[in-house]
Structure 1
Amino acid sequence: MSGWRSTLVTVVLSAVVGAAAAWGVMQWSARSKAPADLHAVIHQRLNLTPEQDRRLDEVEADFAVERRRLEAELRQANRELSAAIGESRGDTPEVRAAVEHFHMAMGDLQLATIAHVFEMRAVLAPDQVEVFDRVVVETLRADAD
């Protein structure tokens, strides 16, 4: 295989592996303990009133719909990226646009998740917020290490 073809194959394979790794990390992150821990704290340790429980159920139901939509967009962006890499001969405008779409979709999911956390927080009483905030901060710190 000539030098330029070998380089091209290496670049394309690196891009595919990088995209797959980013997708895998995103999937792992989306399924990480943070949401489950927050939900466990809310429902098990905060002594919710029936009204709070009802409101949180609504918040959860709304976010479930939004999260499915955002995850579908992320999967679509990943398909576009894989197609652009598969059809390209290197770092093309199409590959860069697909990477940008993937990053935007991932960012939108992260922003929606943070907004969801604050929406849950708004349902809680001040003493409950203190416990909730502590768990959020601890969870984020643990994920950063």
Structure 2
Amino acid sequence: MMRGWRAIALTAVLAALAGGAGTWISASWVLARREPPSLHDIVHHDLKLSPDQLARIEAVEARFAARRPALEADVRAANLELATAIEQSDGDSPQVQAAVDHFHVAMGALQKETITHVFEMRSVLTPEQAAIFDDRIVVALAPNEN
């Protein structure tokens, strides 16, 4: 009888993961098709930067560009760790939960560094430019809310 519950639990976990993966893939496809303006486009095309501002922004972008690949690699590694834990588990095991936690930490680190990068760029702007920047960022993050 216990084996039957394990099979049901494993099926439920796999179904939830498959549903989540399908949702993520669909959302990624839809978002890629809509293509809100990138942060680079907002800063370099929507704002009239002075030469000094441009140099400072480029330094901020270079620092983030150097850090971002490691953060994204950790997200990919955590995703692989989760896939391996699911493959080797017969249910919602401690290994699966540890992999989920690692994935959340990796994604959180990437998001926090990205937000820090956004505010570092914003600190270079004049109040008028910052207002435009904020409006564009809000629309990019929540396009249907405005």
The runs of at least 4 aligned residues of structure 1 exceeding 3 Å deviation read 2-6, 18-35
Residue in structure 1 matched with residue 85 of structure 2 by the alignment: 84
Distance 1:63 1:139, change over 3 A: same
| Counterpart-to-counterpart distance in 1, 2:62 and 2:21 | 30
TM-score, with structure 1 as normaliser: 0.80
User: % of aligned pairs identical?
Assistant: 48
For the 8 Å contact 1:16–1:82, the answer to whether it is kept is: no
Residue in structure 2 matched with residue 134 of structure 1 by the alignment: 135
| Counterpart-to-counterpart distance in 2, 1:111 and 1:25 | 24
Residue in structure 2 matched with residue 57 of structure 1 by the alignment: 58
For the 8 Å contact 1:15–1:85, the answer to whether it is kept is: no
More divergent stretch after superposition (120-129 vs 11-20): 11-20
Distance 1:22 1:72, change over 3 A: farther
| Counterpart-to-counterpart distance in 2, 1:62 and 1:119 | 11
Corresponding residue SS for 1:89: coil
Q: Compare the two structures and name the one with the higher helix fraction.
A: 1
Structure 1 residue 30: Cα displacement: 9.6
Structure 1 residue 34: Cα displacement: 5.1
Structure 1 residue 41: Cα displacement: 2.4
Corresponding residue SS for 2:123: helix
Structure 1 residue 21: Cα displacement: 4.4
Q: Look up the equivalent residue of 1:44 and give its one-letter code.
A: H
| Counterpart-to-counterpart distance in 1, 2:70 and 2:29 | 18
Distance 1:30 1:112, change over 3 A: farther
RMSD: 3.0
1:91-144 C-alpha deviation (Å, 9 max, x unpaired): 111100100111111111111111111011011111111111111122222166
> Is there any run of 5+ residues in structure 2 with no aligned partner, and where?
none
| Count of residues paired in the alignment | 143
> Is there any run of 5+ residues in structure 1 with no aligned partner, and where?
none
Q: Look up the equivalent residue of 1:137 and give its one-letter code.
A: V
Q: Look up the equivalent residue of 1:99 and give its one-letter code.
A: V
For the 8 Å contact 2:64–2:117, the answer to whether it is kept is: yes
TM-score, with structure 2 as normaliser: 0.80
